[in-house]
A = this chain, B = another copy of it.
Amino acid sequence: MHDVARSAGVSLKTVSRVINAEPSVADATAARVHEAIGELGFRRNDIARSLRQGSTSATLGLVIEDVTNPFYSAVAQAVESAARERGYLLIIGSCEEDAERERELILALLRRRVDALLLVPAGSPRDQSWLTRELGPSTPIVFVDRPPHGIEADCVLVDNVGGARAAVEHLLGFGHRRIAYVGDPLEMFTAEARFSGYCDALNGAGIAIDSRLVHTASNDVAGSVVSVRELLALTDPPTAIFSGNNRHTVGALRALRGREETIAVVGFDDFELADLLAMPTTVIRHDATRIGAAAAALAFSRLDAADAPPQRVVIETELVPRGSGEVRPRT
């Protein structure tokens, strides 16, 4: 900028004015400055720019588990798209359910003074009270898919209980009585909520929870393949499976592939190709794009007006019957 000023024979401030298209610059001066900018290949430094107090970095931070999971990538896409509309950029970090990594990522983002943080908190420990200290009063945080614990903050959740209940009631409606739960460990918020919906539905039908039918596995496909195999090996195996998220659904389908037995499956989370599978899969759908968009909207409205009670947005779910959930038990 210094060089530009000298080359154009003006002061720094004038260059600044030209860069930012401020009105009060003589056309001739502006032209000279532009020329110098072109020659010198000058480019404004937004880092220096954002250093001024009261100014923003125009950056959002998003911390998720893993971009590879289609649910999170849809969320990320929606957040990025909302960010772009406001001229913001998005820094994405994956923490892979590792609380320590999550913490480091968040601190790194805060050191960079992101204007707001969107977080899918690791499943455990379910306590983010430490964030209160770190965030300070000026950095809003929005919790995505899992609620805050030990800190007051906006969040966007899915109607986990309702969705799970609908899934299990659907299976009950087709005559199933032995319905398994395959999902994340229950200390995870979404798992707990979905399991609770599962229990609600069974209890509503006067069916006791059979703990042998409840399998939790870490959130990976391989784990639930094993779970489902174990379920099938029971002397009195389930006739239906409710799977707790898209990873577990894929695991279940993988375990069931090529099996003689037809076992009903309803999965939480929709996924591409669910309708083209050998067993077109009935799912509880919810709109990941809406989740991301809502989270971004909360972040921005918090930036626009800091003081308002924390908001909690709940995205509803919808059962999409495709075949796998409409199988009656063998009689």
Is A113 an interface position by the 8 A CB rule?
A: yes
CA distance A298 to B112 in the complex (A): 25
Is A308 an interface position by the 8 A CB rule?
A: no
Majority SS of interface residues in chain A? mixed
- List chain B residues, Cβ under 8 A from A50: 47
Is A211 an interface position by the 8 A CB rule?
A: no
Is A67 an interface position by the 8 A CB rule?
A: yes
How many copies the complex holds: the figure is 2
CA distance A112 to B57 in the complex (A): 9
CB distance from A265 to the nearest CB of B (A): 12
CB-nearest residue of chain B relative to A62?
B92
A276-289 vs B, CB cutoff 8 Å, 1 = contact: the mask equals 11111000000000
Is A250 an interface position by the 8 A CB rule?
A: yes
B57 and A67 within 8 A (CB): no
Is A43 an interface position by the 8 A CB rule?
A: yes
Is A102 an interface position by the 8 A CB rule?
A: no
CB distance from A62 to the nearest CB of B (A): 9
Specify which of B41, B133, B278 is in contact with A277 (CB 8 Å cutoff): B278
Is A205 an interface position by the 8 A CB rule?
A: no
A110-145 vs B, CB cutoff 8 Å, 1 = contact: the mask equals 111100000000000000000001101000000000
CB-nearest residue of chain B relative to A92?
B92
- List chain B residues, Cβ under 8 A from A59: 91, 112
A:147-167 near B, CB below 8 Å:
none
Is A93 an interface position by the 8 A CB rule?
A: yes
B92 and A108 within 8 A (CB): no
Is A80 an interface position by the 8 A CB rule?
A: yes
Specify which of B41, B73, B74, B80 is in contact with A136 (CB 8 Å cutoff): B41
- List chain B residues, Cβ under 8 A from A107: 43
Ordered by A's residue number, 11 sampled pairs between the chains whose C-beta atoms are within 8 Å are A43-B107, A43-B110, A47-B51, A67-B67, A68-B77, A70-B73, A84-B93, A89-B108, A89-B112, A90-B92, A278-B280
